[in-house]
Structure 1
Amino acid sequence: MENSKRRFLKGTCALLAGATGATLLTTVNAAESAKAEAEIKYAMVHDESKCIGCRACEVACREVNEVPEGVSRIEILQTGPFGEYPNQFYHFSRKSCQHCEDAPCVNVCPTGAAFIDKETGIVSVDAWKCVGCQYCIAACPYQVRFINPVTHAADKCDFCRETNLAQGKQPACVAACPTKALVFGNLKDSTSEIVQVLRANPTQRAKVALGTRPKLFRILAKSGEVVL
């Protein structure tokens, strides 16, 4: 009887030790994973004072990412003219995915097709998982998602994650901009150009009151960049 008790206690201790070890291992792995996730957080700045509305970014995005006609990952919105003739000017703003840190589109997706890439912080879409329910389109407060007429899946800007970025290049829109109005980089790198730009300029982000924590920043336009 005593031997049976001893065997039982030994077995119980072994199980507890194993469970504790597994818990510790899980905790360590989670900490290491969190550390890895924190190394890169990509973001973009659109300097409206430099944007001339040429739409080279739209063309480059469509070509590199094979975006079909009739839909667009990027739109340059023109407002104006402002002022009195002959001193009139236009403003140009960018409409595209904000790459929210707390993304409503990801939160509502029933299949996991919408996700935040752990390595880069980029909000992306697995087209093969998408069932076209359009929940993400309805949830996005920035109205930037659409159904791709070729893949029949939700689509949007992904900072060229699967094209240029995968090849070590800048996103197509950044590379194509003739006035360097777009700056892309890692917010976690204190020496990066984007961090220097953000430190040197006052910026705004869209609908921050919603708590989405968008990573598309804008330097507000100044009068006179395009004069009639």
Structure 2
Amino acid sequence: MRYGFAIDTKRCIGCHTCAVACRYENNLPKEVWWNRIMTEGGEYMDIPVGEFPNTRLSYLPVACQHCENPACVKVCPVGATYKDPETGIVRQDYEKCIGCRMCMAACPYTGVRSFNWEEPAYYTGVAFGAADIPVHEKHVVEKCTMCWHRQAKGDQPACIDVCPERARHWGDLDDPESEVSRLIASREYKQLLPEEGTKPSVYYLV
């Protein structure tokens, strides 16, 4: 199997529901976002490109691309960043991570990883999200896990379940009958920085 996403940019309304669900499900520390919704073309968030009345506004959810040929895995000196052989999900082993941030330097997709410089701090004193997620640690690199803890139980990533416009789709890219494969086969799409040769597992339907 090789899990991936198909994101329909024509349906995405920039509501950030997927990003918030990711924060909640994974109990992310303050100021940490594994999934960000970028405004494509505009100078600032929610600002269209062009001049009225000829304006255009579209959104681009950006997170770890879970590449088929991940640059981050190649440079990690201790094997803390690795590609799961059964699912294709690019994962982080917090116990092995030495905080060198080589994976952050090698990744061509700016901002999809975060580094905990200090002990993770939270907005509340109560832990949220799934009980089986790893504990966030100091001096560790973090990123989207594709909710592997949910996938292991047969569930979809949290961001898929909550999208109100059904813009996000997830499944096995190696299965031609999966919803995500059928969407990619029937629609035009783009990928981020294909020239880098990383072969992202995220397809943006256009």
- Fold shared per TM-score above 0.5: yes
In 1, distance between residues paired with 2:181 and 2:67? Answer: 18
Quote the offset at 1:85 in angstroms. 3.7
Q: Which residue of 2 aligns with 1:64?
A: 25
1:109-120 matches, cutoff 5 A: 109-120=76-87
Quote the offset at 1:218 in angstroms. 0.4
Q: What TM-score comes out, normalization by structure 2 length?
A: 0.83
Residue type of the alignment partner of 1:155: E
Deviations 1:9-48 (A, max 9, x none): xxxxxxxxxxxxxxxxxxxxxxxxxxxxxxx000101111
Is 1:160 aligned with 2:168? no
Based on CA coordinates, which of the two structures has the bigger radius of gyration? 1
Higher relative helix content: 1
In 1, distance between residues paired with 2:84 and 2:107? Answer: 18
Is 1:169 aligned with 2:137? no
| C-alpha RMSD of the superposition | 1.4
Tell me the matched-pair count.
Answer: 180
Quote the offset at 1:71 in angstroms. 1.2
For structure 2, the 5+ residue unaligned runs are 121-136
Higher deviation after alignment, 50-59 or 137-146: 137-146
SS of alignment partner, residue 94 of structure 1: strand
Residue type of the alignment partner of 2:4: A
Quote the offset at 1:88 in angstroms. 4.2
In 1, distance between residues paired with 2:191 and 2:50? Answer: 25
Question: Which aligned segments of 4 or more residues in structure 1 are displaced greater than 6 angstroms?
Answer: none
Quote the offset at 1:83 in angstroms. 4.8
Higher deviation after alignment, 80-89 or 126-135: 80-89
Q: Percent identity?
A: 40
In 2, distance between residues paired with 1:73 and 1:129? Answer: 20
1:31-42 matches, cutoff 5 A: 40-42=1-3
Quote the offset at 1:66 in angstroms. 1.0
In 1, distance between residues paired with 2:169 and 2:27? Answer: 22
1:11-30 matches, cutoff 5 A: none
Is 1:199 aligned with 2:206? no
Q: What TM-score comes out, normalization by structure 1 length?
A: 0.75
Higher relative strand content: 2
In 2, distance between residues paired with 1:195 and 1:177? Answer: 19
